[in-house]
Amino acid sequence: VNVSGLKLNSGALSADGQASLADNKLAADIRGALSDVSLLSKDAKGAIAFGLNAQGPIMAPDLSLTVNSDRLSVAAREITGLKLTATGKADAANPAADVQLTGNVAGQPLQGNA
């Protein structure tokens, strides 16, 4: 199965990319944006861009997710330069993840990883 030229536009959500499944291996690359994050939380304002990549065996693909925003407002606090990066393996027997977060909250540096 191969899907190329995938496009989604629904209200504030847009995404495009491609995905394939062959010989029990998954390959997917999706990019998109949510122009109104208040749809996720009434206390949030702004927009995000995201990317998702999945590669490998269908039962345990390697995953990579990025979420970026130039400017958000959450609970009356301004967040600028937000970047969330998560990588890992979606293996039910041995899941793994590495998450990094950077940005500024109300002018103060935000940095975290797990």
Q: How far apart are CA 14 and CA 113, in angstroms?
A: 28
How much is the pLDDT for 66?
98
How many structural domains compose the chain? 1
The pTM is what? 0.88
pLDDT digits (tens, 9 = 90+) for 58-101: 999 999 999 999 999 999 899 999 999 999 999 999 999 999 99
- Domain limits for position 46: 2-113
How much is the pLDDT for 73?
96
| Helix, strand, coil % in the chain, rounded to nearest 5 | 5, 75, 25
pLDDT cut 70: percent of the chain above it: 100
